[in-house]
Structure 1
Amino acid sequence: MKSISIVAMVCVVLFCGQLLAQELTRDDFRDAEWKMKSLLWQEQQNKGEQLDVLDQTDFDVRYWELEVDVTDIGGQSITGRVKMTSESAINGLTGIDYNYDSAMNVDSVKMGGQTVSYTHNGDILHITLNQTYDMGQQFTTEVFYGGHPPGGGFGSFTWDTHGGQPIISTLSEPEGAREWWPCKDMPHDKADSADVYIITPDNLTGTSNGVLVGEVDNGNGTKTYHWQISYPITTYLICMSISNYQSFTDWYVNANNDSMPVTNYVYPEHYNNAVEDLSITPGAIAVFAGLFGEYPFLKEKYGHSIFPWGGAMEHQCNTSYGSGLINGQHSYDWILVHELSHQWFGDMITCDIWPDIWMNEGFASYCEALWTEQLQGYSAYVNYMRFNNGVSDPSGPIYDPNPLFDGNTVYSKGAWVVHMLRGVMGDEAFFEGFYAYANHPDHKYGTITTREFQAIMEQYYGADLAFFFDEWVWGMNRPKYTYSWMKEDIGGGQYEIFLHINQTQTSPAPEVFTMPIRIYPEINGQDTVITVWDDSRQDDFRFIVNGDPTQFRFDRYYWILRDATVASYGLNIVTTDVPDGYVGESYNATVEARGGTAPYEFTLQTGSLPPGLDLSSSTGEITGTPNTTGDYSFTIRCTDSTNATDDQDYQVSITYFNDVNEGSSVPKDFALIGNYPNPFNNSTIISFRLGQPGNIDLKVYNIRGQMVAALYVGFLPAGQHSLVWDAETAPSGIYFYKLTAGDRSATRKMSLVK
């Protein structure tokens, strides 16, 4: 254990030394941060292998009162007192377990002023309660303790100097709080409030979370700083920083003209540079407040306390900010906004368990790009995602990765997952969903799991997002696309574009990534955006455009974390499905091919056509009159004159018409044929057939059953009809269209992808 701590401290010194010698890159920052957290995490896991797994679900922490005396700077030891008020979550509770490092000491434990028994074995402090407590009953324990904090990771508790002055600081994420105070050290149990008392030499200042409500000169060369925390807070976010700080305060003023102090505690030797570098903070708070809702700790403060580590840590209301980041040139504004965004995602809403850590770090990394977009525009946002949130494979899964805090996966790929979710949902639904998430009554000032976040976003997407989360959060790596395209002049100034997409990624990546892909044909110097829904290993798409497309760009604005290469367009069957049919009714469908070298030959490769239908080998037409109901699967092969081949699978259902009695007002031969295209972008054509005249209505509903459009209500003659749904103002998602005639109705599903 001692050797690990020594190595950790050496790493800190080396990293900070490199920082002074050269500019810190984003890769440096994320690499150092995730390694620091992973090192501490691994230390705790190694200890845990020798211990029983704690079950701390039997009590709920309601309040912490923490007092720490750091005046023994020469001996690098602390004394402290922890008062915890908790509520029993079970009947018959007689004892509780704290997390508390074996290197530290316990002097006594009291309840109601009376000593109670305890044991401190390994890293577990077990307290025998003074009576039996049933569910809902509250109790308070008080632990008196001390020792030399081991300072795991890159410094859960560190003693250092700057300019000959001491700097004492904490950084407890993920499970380092137990190394300097007895606690329930897990993210999901937040105390409703807390008080922190720091006893320091009287020439030093002690900072923590919340609001400074007291500064007392003890008359013995020491001072006590009292910080009061009125918002819920998880254990690892409670912090202390102690040094000969010089402070200054800026002010954040919100839209309601409410003001909040932004107080920064900095080293005197870099005061002027700190005033410059940290000056962007109020404006950055306003940016995120506009996107996610008001700064979550408005009644307290925000600010920074400088500490010796090379990175930063998002302690609630009081970010610990590396001294090497201060140079007066705004070199590390992106780190400042990363930590600031954690006040919403990480502090206000905290990952419920550590495997969900991407919801802290991936979100904050994505917020760097959002901040860039607000300041510099959309192009800068895209470039930030491409060049500053780059991902290398292997990557993922981002849920419970190994190592747990991997920078490439948790930070960078986590940011890409949020970016891609925006692309799938569309801006309106995404930002509405994100705002709702940040202000959700079940999670605000609480915790969240990935699946709970998914459920919230599904409400605003209007459809299931399991396909996305399963492949990107629980899956690995990225899709690798090979695409090809050709165009065909169909007259009247119109061209038909044929697009073939082949996914070539290999295990451990998913075999297929289901994603909307935006493609951009350039016509007359202007881009036309078309979105296709790619959900197969190989997919073919066709669409008609007005004008001659001279260029073709695939996912031009990088809405997908992918590799993509273009190839020459080869032989492809471009008819991806054929219609269902009815017994006794004439059937006609054509399987078409493009590319390769004509003439083509079409053959039935596997399966069988519905009885009564035949395939023309020269034209690809399927014709005849079906005579037997059933579901039929078959594969058709196209062979060109060079013997190149392409296969396409089809499924066809043959059913009977449901006729009605003579004289009924309900149309006979009622059929809802379908919509084309599907999925579609902005508009689609819905076709249906009426065997006789009658009153009908055709309406469109979202996934929640709310009607979003009434396309037709009234009388129509017999025959086949087509109506257009213009969905330009509707968000992306799954919709249902329902045709009703008398007591007959039919419903089908369609996908709007923008």
Structure 2
Amino acid sequence: MISLKHLVSLVLIIIGLSNIYAQNPNALESIIHAEQANYTRNHNTVDQSLMSTANNKSDIKYTRMHWEVDPAVSYIKGEVMTIFQPIENVQNLDFDFSEALTMDSVTYHGALLKFTITGDQIQVHFPTTLLNGSTDSLTFYYQGKPTSTGFGSFIVDEHAGTPVLWTLSEPYGAREWWPCKQSLNDKIDSIDVYITNPVAYKAASNGLLINESIANGKITAHWKHRYPIAAYLICMAVTNYEVFTELAPFGNQTTTILNYVYPENLEDDKAGVAQNVTHMQLYDQLFGMYPFQNEKYGHAQFGWGGGMEHQTMTFVTSYGYELLAHELAHHWFGDKVTCGSWQDIWLNEGFATYLSGLCYQYLLPEYWLPFKQQRIATITSQPGGSVFVTDTSSVNRIFSGRLTYAKGAMILHQLRWICGDSIFFKGIRNYINDPAIAYSYAKTSDLKRHLEAVSGKNLTGYFADWFTGQGYPSYQVSWSQDITQNIHVKLNQTQSHGSVDFFEMPVPLKINGPNRQSITIVLDNTFNGQNFSQQINFPIASVEFDPELWLITKDNTISFVVGVDPLNSDGYSLNIEPNPIQNGILQTIIESPTEQIIQSTIESIDGKIMMNKLVSLESGKTSKQFDVTGFPCGTYSLQLKTKQGSLTKKFVIQ
């Protein structure tokens, strides 16, 4: 383990890196745009037949894959052996498998097994009924040229004139290059991957590299992975990689970061990977040890825009700060705990986006506020849209940068605000360590349940407004201060979308005094037009709405209002002479029927409080001067407030 103080000291390592890896709190937008462009190369929507059609009648225990490929040729020859347990009595099982490929045979206990292919589904027919809970196996032998549905699931390309091959199966592309169950309900308990390719190339995949053997001009890499894994997180990449390692220390433990990079990028990529050490140490502090500590973390370079969090072997196009932080974060949120439906994809992408923001907060704090500003601006650029994905046939909607990534991240940030730091992070740690979902799948209801358990709060309304509901609020804040220095605030709210009638939120206001005093008050806003009063022990010069950006809002207004009715009683008067003011001194004659202390406020024509202080009056007429040196030329108002009412006079500074 390493302290946060030590983590901050490691920022010096990052600052020294090449400008090519400079920090950019707006990087997420370019990452998402690149990813979406590649996802939708051929399609913006997914035919329903491309989603999983495999039935859920079995539990996959183990899979051994042996793939023979050449990065210069778009072709695959495969042997996939699967060990499974039926979860009911069955005589046939369905698997996802592209009809563009050829299934040469399926064997069962050494004999050929009958099968039928319908669309992108293969159904295998067993000679006898398999009993619920029994353990059995079968082996697929297949080959062919994988097709692309716009996800880039099996790509042959070039870098610097050299062939490169990579896979990317999220969300529905695994079936395009191997027979599998790609639905989000069954992780394979463990896998072995064998990749055979021409000897000039190296192959990267999941888990630990056990060995590489050469025969007949070809090299076979054996990768072993002993953690549960979703089908879409299984991968391979093949080209003339250079390989190097980086070590991330945690007290007396280390995690190996294994990197497969293009030779032409080797030195730059070494500098980039060094950033990931501090990211991993921070995540360890906040969320616990790297979830695949017994094996490794790794990167393989590929040509697709952005990155992909293949389990223990992230694919990245470059080694930028936020991209590396985002993809590493997925190994806690996306790989260890995987969204249980594409409707809940924000549990992957929203968390990873927020964790990349936490890297700014804890390691490079000067970028934290811009990160939040950009996320909020992205979210509020349109009035509607829910984080909950209603149309899982639309790739653009599943991977919406505005909703899944940015709004997903910021509704986590708001939950942190509602719960408080210690409770929030405890709830998140409980969520990812829940035995029912760790190394398995989760739904939004699981996260809600854990946060409610540690906070004691009912979050049903929050998730209804911010997860399934659409839009965001805009606040209209009006305030005044009375003679006893109480602030009086009225909060009104409008909503950008009709799906939510009111967003109940704790609203932070920063109260500033004339001598650099400040205090933040939090108003529990539960209905429109709500009034609040609170003691402030200094005259108020200005009020700021949510300066630390906890809330998803836009077009908020703050206005100072007269807190009491105008004075109509005899005995009060206010005169300003001369008017306009030319020498920086506001001369006044104030008449009062009694000796008293009153509140005086100077406000600009646009509502800005320029001065706020207490004034002592004698009975009768009192001459008072106010220093307005440095005030811009323009029209202002001087307001005097007493327990009986107020007087206001306008004046001009030339």
| Matches of 2:212 and 2:127, distance apart in 1 | 34
Partner of 1:169, secondary structure, is strand
Q: Which amino acid aligns with 2:368?
A: Y
Q: Indicate whether 1:400 and 2:389 are aligned.
A: yes
Partner of 1:529, secondary structure, is strand
State the 1:212 CA deviation.
0.6
Q: Residue in 2 aligned with 1:516?
A: 506
Q: Which has the higher contact order (CA 8 A, sep 6+)?
A: 2
Distance 1:38 1:351, change over 3 A: farther
Q: Residue in 1 aligned with 2:547?
A: 556
| Matches of 2:259 and 2:50, distance apart in 1 | 38
| Matches of 1:432 and 1:342, distance apart in 2 | 19
Q: Residue in 2 aligned with 1:382?
A: 369
Given that 2:342 and 2:389 are in contact with CA atoms closer than 8 Å, whether structure 1 keeps it comes out as: yes
1:250 to 246, 267, 282: 246
State the 1:388 CA deviation.
5.1
Given that 2:246 and 2:258 are in contact with CA atoms closer than 8 Å, whether structure 1 keeps it comes out as: yes
Distance 1:408 1:381, change over 3 A: same
Distance 1:238 1:361, change over 3 A: same
| Matches of 1:47 and 1:549, distance apart in 2 | 63
Q: Residue in 2 aligned with 1:623?
A: none
Q: Residue in 1 aligned with 2:123?
A: 126
Given that 2:35 and 2:304 are in contact with CA atoms closer than 8 Å, whether structure 1 keeps it comes out as: no
Q: Which amino acid aligns with 2:298?
A: G
1:78 to 76, 87, 109: 76
State the 1:317 CA deviation.
0.6
Q: How does 1:556-575 map to 2 (within 5 A)?
A: 556-568=547-559
Given that 1:194 and 1:228 are in contact with CA atoms closer than 8 Å, whether structure 2 keeps it comes out as: yes
Given that 2:62 and 2:84 are in contact with CA atoms closer than 8 Å, whether structure 1 keeps it comes out as: yes
Q: What RMSD, in angstroms, separates the aligned Cα atoms of the two structures?
A: 2.2
Given that 2:431 and 2:446 are in contact with CA atoms closer than 8 Å, whether structure 1 keeps it comes out as: no
Q: Residue in 2 aligned with 1:340?
A: 328
Q: Residue in 2 aligned with 1:668?
A: none
2:404 to 394, 406, 410: 410
Given that 1:207 and 1:305 are in contact with CA atoms closer than 8 Å, whether structure 2 keeps it comes out as: yes
Deviations 1:682-719 (A, max 9, x none): xxxxxxxxxxxxxxxxxxxxxxxxxxxxxxxxxxxxxx
Q: Which amino acid aligns with 1:82?
A: V
Given that 1:70 and 1:77 are in contact with CA atoms closer than 8 Å, whether structure 2 keeps it comes out as: yes
Identity %: 33
Q: Residue in 1 aligned with 2:516?
A: 525
Partner of 1:528, secondary structure, is strand
State the 1:37 CA deviation.
4.0
State the 1:41 CA deviation.
8.4
Q: Residue in 1 aligned with 2:172?
A: 175
| Matches of 2:450 and 2:222, distance apart in 1 | 39
Given that 1:569 and 1:595 are in contact with CA atoms closer than 8 Å, whether structure 2 keeps it comes out as: no
Distance 1:225 1:118, change over 3 A: same
Q: How does 1:174-323 map to 2 (within 5 A)?
A: 174-218=171-215, 220-255=216-251, 257-322=252-317
State the 1:32 CA deviation.
2.4
Q: Residue in 2 aligned with 1:476?
A: 470
Q: Which amino acid aligns with 2:269?
A: A
State the 1:564 CA deviation.
4.2
Q: Residue in 2 aligned with 1:26?
A: 28
Q: Residue in 1 aligned with 2:58?
A: 59
1:360 to 338, 341, 348: 348
Q: How does 1:155-166 map to 2 (within 5 A)?
A: 155-166=152-163
Partner of 2:536, secondary structure, is strand
Distance 1:536 1:597, change over 3 A: farther
Partner of 2:98, secondary structure, is coil
Name structure 1 gaps, 5 residues minimum: 1-18, 327-331, 572-593, 600-754
Q: How does 1:312-711 map to 2 (within 5 A)?
A: 312-322=307-317, 325=318, 332-377=320-365, 380-387=367-374, 390-391=378-379, 392-402=381-391, 403-490=397-484, 495-523=485-513, 524-568=515-559, 594-595=563-564
Given that 2:246 and 2:273 are in contact with CA atoms closer than 8 Å, whether structure 1 keeps it comes out as: no
Given that 1:253 and 1:259 are in contact with CA atoms closer than 8 Å, whether structure 2 keeps it comes out as: yes
| Matches of 2:459 and 2:133, distance apart in 1 | 38
| Matches of 2:353 and 2:299, distance apart in 1 | 19
| Matches of 1:171 and 1:81, distance apart in 2 | 19
State the 1:106 CA deviation.
0.4
Deviations 1:608-630 (A, max 9, x none): xxxxxxxxxxxxxxxxxxxxxxx
Partner of 2:437, secondary structure, is coil
Q: Residue in 1 aligned with 2:108?
A: 111
* TM-score scaled by length of structure 2: 0.79
Given that 1:293 and 1:438 are in contact with CA atoms closer than 8 Å, whether structure 2 keeps it comes out as: no
| Aligned positions, number | 537
| Matches of 2:534 and 2:469, distance apart in 1 | 32
Q: Which amino acid aligns with 2:500?
A: P
Deviations 1:574-597 (A, max 9, x none): xxxxxxxxxxxxxxxxxxxx5565
State the 1:283 CA deviation.
2.1
State the 1:31 CA deviation.
1.8
State the 1:57 CA deviation.
2.0
State the 1:36 CA deviation.
3.7
State the 1:530 CA deviation.
1.3
State the 1:141 CA deviation.
1.5
Partner of 1:76, secondary structure, is strand
Q: Which amino acid aligns with 1:357?
A: I
| Matches of 2:330 and 2:254, distance apart in 1 | 20
| Matches of 1:234 and 1:202, distance apart in 2 | 30
State the 1:194 CA deviation.
0.5
Given that 2:102 and 2:142 are in contact with CA atoms closer than 8 Å, whether structure 1 keeps it comes out as: yes
Deviations 1:377-404 (A, max 9, x none): 3x64233111256322234310115522
| Matches of 1:69 and 1:411, distance apart in 2 | 36
Given that 2:545 and 2:558 are in contact with CA atoms closer than 8 Å, whether structure 1 keeps it comes out as: no
Distance 1:597 1:116, change over 3 A: farther
Q: Residue in 1 aligned with 2:14?
A: none
Deviations 1:485-514 (A, max 9, x none): 111012xxxx11111111122433411000
Partner of 1:541, secondary structure, is strand
State the 1:173 CA deviation.
0.4
| Matches of 2:169 and 2:358, distance apart in 1 | 28
Distance 1:37 1:186, change over 3 A: farther
Partner of 1:504, secondary structure, is strand
Partner of 1:549, secondary structure, is coil
Given that 1:291 and 1:431 are in contact with CA atoms closer than 8 Å, whether structure 2 keeps it comes out as: yes
Name structure 2 gaps, 5 residues minimum: 1-19, 392-396, 569-654
State the 1:376 CA deviation.
2.4
Distance 1:163 1:450, change over 3 A: same
State the 1:465 CA deviation.
0.9
| Matches of 2:257 and 2:497, distance apart in 1 | 49
Partner of 1:418, secondary structure, is helix
Given that 1:293 and 1:439 are in contact with CA atoms closer than 8 Å, whether structure 2 keeps it comes out as: no
| Matches of 1:292 and 1:74, distance apart in 2 | 42
Distance 1:498 1:154, change over 3 A: same
Given that 1:40 and 1:175 are in contact with CA atoms closer than 8 Å, whether structure 2 keeps it comes out as: no
Q: Residue in 2 aligned with 1:705?
A: none
Q: Indicate whether 1:135 and 2:126 are aligned.
A: no
Q: Which amino acid aligns with 1:399?
A: F
* TM-score scaled by length of structure 1: 0.68
Partner of 2:178, secondary structure, is coil
| Matches of 1:74 and 1:383, distance apart in 2 | 43
| Matches of 1:287 and 1:280, distance apart in 2 | 11
Distance 1:376 1:75, change over 3 A: closer
